[in-house]
Amino acid sequence: MAIIEEISQFLQKGRAKQVKTLVNQALEEGVSAKTILDDGLLSGMMIIGEKFKNNEVFVPEVLVAARAMNAGIAILEPHLAEAGNEPLGKAVIGTVKGDLHDIGKNLVTMLLKGAGFEVTDLGVDVEAEVFIDKAEEVGADIICMSALLTTTMPNMQGVIDLLKERGLRDKYIVMVGGAPVNESFSEQIGADYFTEDAASCAEAAKAAVIAKKAG
């Protein structure tokens, strides 16, 4: 589909304005929000990620591409998040301390909302105390943590350790994810769920909350 390829190309060039126009146009043409996201925005960002790894592009190019990605995602949000009225449960989410990557976290937020959760987004570079204090304040069921750097993954453990210290570990469902995170790391730090992508996270969150509420 030509328009999807164009979205990917403009994203890679960091042209947020064109990305917005084309995303709107694709929606008008009846292309599904999921196809635009997966085959246009995410595939463009994967190409940038590969070039970044190979030193073919650098932080400024990645930043403008990320800005274009977020601009496109913002247009898709109402189409991806079609929640009902009653919240299914409450979640707090953030990218862990030291980590500024937020695109994946924003996608997870959007799909959790779509699955019917009330979500408090704590942003990036979130201290362990903030995850827990906010979860207590809003009466969350789930604490969701995202990490994109191998150096910040251990900060997920920090949140779980602090939950234990405060005698709150069993009160929350703890979910982790992000490109370097995997099932065995999740088990090692004592999280409840690792999921690979935003859609699986939303599905698992829904099942976990329903199971928890059923006792």
Segment near ligand B1M (CB under 6 A); pick from 3-11, 27-35, 99-107, 132-140 = 99-107
Q: Is 159 helix (H, G, I), strand (E, B) or coil?
A: helix
Our finding on whether 201 is near ligand B1M (CB under 6 A) is: yes
Return the residue of 15, 97, 101, 134 that touches ligand B1M, per CB under 6 A: 101
| DSSP states of 11-27 | HHTT-HHHHHHHHHHHH
Our finding on whether 209 is near ligand B1M (CB under 6 A) is: no
Binding mask 118-147 for ligand B1M (x = CB under 6 A): --------------------------xxx-
Q: What is the DSSP letter of 169?
A: G
Stretch (H or E) spanning 176: strand 173-177
Return the residue of 22, 31, 33, 107 that touches ligand B1M, per CB under 6 A: 107
State the Cα–Cα distance between residues 214 and 212, nearest whole angstrom.
Answer: 5
Binding mask 65-84 for ligand B1M (x = CB under 6 A): -x------------------
- Closest approach of ligand B1M to the CB of residue 187, in Å: 15
User: Count residues contacting ligand B1M (CB under 6 A)?
Assistant: 36
In the structure encoding, which two tokens stand for residue 69, read together?
A: 């990605």
Which among 81, 145, 147 is positioned nearest to 118, based on CA atoms?
81
- Closest approach of ligand B1M to the CB of residue 18, in Å: 19
Single-letter code of the amino acid located at 133: D
In the structure encoding, which two tokens stand for residue 208, read together?
A: 């976990």
Stretch (H or E) spanning 89: strand 89-95
State the Cα–Cα distance between residues 203 and 29, nearest whole angstrom.
Answer: 28
- Closest approach of ligand B1M to the CB of residue 90, in Å: 14
Chain residues that interact with ligand B1M, rule: CB under 6 A:
42, 45, 48-49, 52-53, 59, 62-63, 66, 98-105, 107-108, 144-146, 148-150, 175-180, 195, 197-198, 201
